[in-house]
Amino acid sequence: MPGLLEKKKQQLRQALVTAAMSLFARDGFEETTVDQVAEAAGVSRRTVFRYFLTKDALVTEPMEVYRAHFIELLAELPPEADSFERVAHACLGSARAMGVERELLLKRRAIVMASPTLSAKERSLDESWEDALAAALGSEGGAGKHQSRIVAAAVFAAMRTTLSQWLDAGAQGSLEALAEEGLVLLRPLFRKSQSYCCHCGYQ
């Protein structure tokens, strides 16, 4: 019974996201009310807020889920793995997960770009991804705080650019393959960062 209940909750959550995305795409995020989302999903306004604390969470939550998955992937490899291996593992795993939700990401992007509110929220989410990566790199002890921030900024910029290019092309082809190309360019940055940190004595 607990498993069945959880499945029903997930189905309702997905129904709310689907209904909201359709309305936001058609009428605009700012112009659509929570009551309209509730009506389209066949539930009450109170039910919507039981699953999503705010209206913008109906759009931003998928990226929050991806971020949580990315953080899990960073910690998944054994202790002997170096920073680049961890980052590559997390980036490619995230790319695989996003690659199977092409339509959702295309629709979500169009909604976000058309909304000042969601665009601002997106920038905040971007910063949280970068913060999480910088914290993970710094915790390994191989880089100082400043170096970790710079490497994290470079990695996230590459991730964001790769995703943007993929979506610009209609989400055609493999997002994972594009991510691999970007990682090839980033590998030297990790080597230089480690050498610099050792030279300066940062631990």
- Residues 50-64: tens digit of each pLDDT: 999 999 999 998 888
Residues 6 or more apart whose Cβ sits within 8 Å of residue 30 = 115, 116, 117
Which pLDDT band holds residue 89 (cuts at 50, 70, 90)? Answer: very high
The predicted pLDDT at position 5 comes to 83
Residue among 111, 144, 149 at smallest CA distance from 127: 149
Read off the pTM. Answer: 0.81
Q: Tell me the pLDDT tens digit for each residue of 105-149.
A: 999 999 999 999 999 988 888 888 888 888 888 765 455 678 888
pLDDT at residue number 139: 67
Residue type, 66: Y
Where do the domains of the chain lie, and which CATH numbers do they carry?
A: 1-55 (1.10.10.60), 56-200 (1.10.357.10)
Do 111 and 29 meet the contact criterion of CB atoms below 8 Å apart?
A: yes
The H helix count followed by the E strand count for the chain is 9, 0
What tens digit of pLDDT does each residue of 2-58 get?
678 888 888 999 999 999 999 999 999 999 999 999 999 999 999 999 999 999 999
